[in-house]
Amino acid sequence: MTIDAERRPRVLRALTALLLATAAATVVVEVLNYWYAPSHGFGFAVRTGWALLRTLGWLLLVRQVRRNRAVARPLGLILAVTTVFAVGRLIVPRTGLPPLPGVAGFVVLLLLCVAVVVLLYRHPVVREYLVRHPNRVVLTREGLRVEEAAPRRAPVTGWLLTARIAAFTYSPLMLVPCLVSFGELRDRPEWLLAVLFWLATGIGVSYAVLLGTFFLLRGKPGARRYLGWLTLFVLLWDLPLCYFLLGVDGLIRDGVPLLAAGLLTWYALHRAAKLDTA
């Protein structure tokens, strides 16, 4: 059960309000980008829709914070990083300077995301409370009940959770530029087969990540190496396609967010390994 609203520390209530404000700011900035954008092509629509989907992620994070879940911290970090990239790539037009309202909104959103990460990772009260495990169905003398169940295996470090969540962003970050590329095929139909392979790979990566993180959280040997090599494969596959099909603009808008997620995964795996050997 969650703590009553009256008994919750002020910083947790402030964090919840901050998350709701960040979700609202994401929508506002996207509306401003759409309003001031000089053109609204297929690629712009796909990228805008993906950015707006992050609003649901922020609302999910609010739910995790209210339930004091340990997963809230890595989820908040991933949302903050990817939101900044997803929204930032829509502000800068292909030519000319970005509109001032859009830049001002992005700066506000950036400050909100930084504040979220600082509270999640640096405030001692937040770290103390975000420790609960997910509820599970357990069998008791009274029958089946839904209650918190501590994992039977050794506790998972926060860095492993961060690596897991960061890796789960690979598939959507690959599929967004892939869908944008479909709109470019009318001028370059010879790339159709490559785009179809890109789509299949983006879907397949989601299952590969699921398999790798399943063993990663259970401490299986080789799971970290597997996820590290999978990250390298994803980057070597996706970044060249972004460049050849979408140009430098696409590489920056769609490749850099995936690169950031990959670097975060590698860093989280490295930190987790250091904690194990300490």
30-45 pLDDT, tens digit each: 887 777 766 666 776 7
Q: Which helix (H) or strand (E) holds 137?
A: strand 135-140
- Residues 226 and 117 occupy one common structural domain: no
- Residues 10 and 112 occupy one common structural domain: yes
Residue with tokens 């470019």: 184
- Residues 124 and 162 occupy one common structural domain: no
- Residues 176 and 67 occupy one common structural domain: no
What share of the chain in percent tops pLDDT 70?
A: 82
Tokens linked to 193 = 């087969």
Residue with tokens 């859009």: 102
pLDDT digit string, tens, across residues 162-209: 898 899 999 999 998 898 888 778 777 888 898 999 999 999 999 999
- Residues 138 and 20 occupy one common structural domain: yes
Tokens linked to 209 = 């990540």
Domain stops at, among 150, 179, 205: 150
- Residues 119 and 139 occupy one common structural domain: yes
Whether residue 78 has pLDDT greater than 80 = yes
Range 112-119 average pLDDT: 94
Distance CA 201, CA 208 (A): 10
For the ranges 24-38, 126-140, 236-250, 263-277, which has the lowest average pLDDT? 126-140
- Residues 160 and 104 occupy one common structural domain: no
Nearest one of 88, 117, 132 to 18, comparing CA atoms: 117
> How many CB atoms within 10 Å of residue 213?
21
**How far is residue 276 CA from its own chain's centroid?**
25
Whether residue 277 has pLDDT greater than 70 = no
Distance CA 161, CA 4 (A): 27
Nearest one of 43, 5, 12, 14 to 185, comparing CA atoms: 43
- Residues 25 and 51 occupy one common structural domain: yes
- In the chain, how many domains are there? 2
Whether residue 232 has pLDDT greater than 60 = yes
Distance CA 159, CA 165 (A): 10
Whether residue 236 has pLDDT greater than 80 = yes
Residue with tokens 């997910």: 134
Distance CA 51, CA 185 (A): 23
Which band of pLDDT confidence, cut at 50, 70 and 90, is reported for residue 229? very high
Domain stops at, among 126, 150, 174: 150
CA angle 59, 61, 63 (to 5 degrees): 75
Residue with tokens 């990228």: 47
- Residues 27 and 136 occupy one common structural domain: yes
Structural domain for 196, as ranges: 154-278
- Residues 110 and 191 occupy one common structural domain: no
- Residues 16 and 134 occupy one common structural domain: yes
Range 70-84 average pLDDT: 87
Whether residue 83 has pLDDT greater than 80 = yes
- Residues 170 and 225 occupy one common structural domain: yes
Domain stops at, among 129, 150, 171: 150
